[in-house]
């Protein structure tokens, strides 16, 4: 594997994990939102899926975001009869975002991001040393 390919693989990993962190941040930002009316849906948690794709220019497989989907899980309900989005029984549907799950996903994404960054920095250091030897 060439040094340039290692840099491109790490860069693709960084871009994928950045997208993952962006989705997690959006989920966490909307975890306390509700719908404006009883028949409207509250925020639905987003999910992200990755796929390996062959980069034809490089001739190597890299990771990419395959799709950003929606979590089909049911909405939790909270009793709040005074809320504008409360149904006839006084329950308000809340987003299906679990902050504990989001924080664990964030921690995993952070570790993957850090690993890709470490590979990028190590590869860059090797490239700098190689250039230094050629001088």
Joined tokens for residue 107: 């921690």
Mean pLDDT value across the chain:
92
**What is the pLDDT, as a whole number, of residue 8?**
87
Q: For the chain, what percent of residues have pLDDT higher than 70?
A: 99
**What is the pLDDT, as a whole number, of residue 135?**
80
Average pLDDT over every residue of 24-28:
97
- What are the phi and psi torsion angles at 65 (to 5°)? -80, 120
**What is the pLDDT, as a whole number, of residue 1?**
58
> Given a cut of 70, is residue 49 above it in pLDDT?
yes
What SS3 class is residue 122? helix
Average pLDDT over every residue of 94-106:
96
What SS3 class is residue 82? coil
Average pLDDT over every residue of 95-117:
96
Residue 27 pLDDT level (bands cut at 50, 70, 90): very high
What's the rounded Cα separation, in Å, for the pair 51 and 56? 15
> Given a cut of 90, is residue 94 above it in pLDDT?
yes
What's the rounded Cα separation, in Å, for the pair 35 and 43? 8
> Given a cut of 90, is residue 44 above it in pLDDT?
yes
pTM score of the predicted model: 0.86
Residue 98 pLDDT level (bands cut at 50, 70, 90): very high
């Amino acid at each position: 594997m060439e040094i340039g390919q290692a840099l491109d693989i790490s860069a693709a990993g960084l871009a994928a994990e950045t997208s993952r962190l962006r989705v997690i941040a959006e989920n966490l930002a909307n975890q306390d939102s509700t719908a404006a009316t009883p028949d409207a849906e509250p925020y639905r948690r987003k999910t992200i899926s990755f796929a390996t794709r062959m980069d034809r220019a490089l001739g190597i497989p890299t990771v990419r975001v395959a799709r950003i989907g929606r979590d089909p899980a049911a909405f939790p309900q909270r009793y709040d009869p005074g809320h504008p989005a409360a149904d006839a029984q006084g329950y308000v549907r809340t987003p299906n975002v679990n902050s504990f799950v989001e924080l664990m996903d964030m921690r995993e994404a952070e570790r993957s991001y850090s690993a890709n960054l470490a590979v990028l920095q190590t590869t860059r250091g090797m490239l700098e040393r190689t250039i230094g030897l050629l001088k």
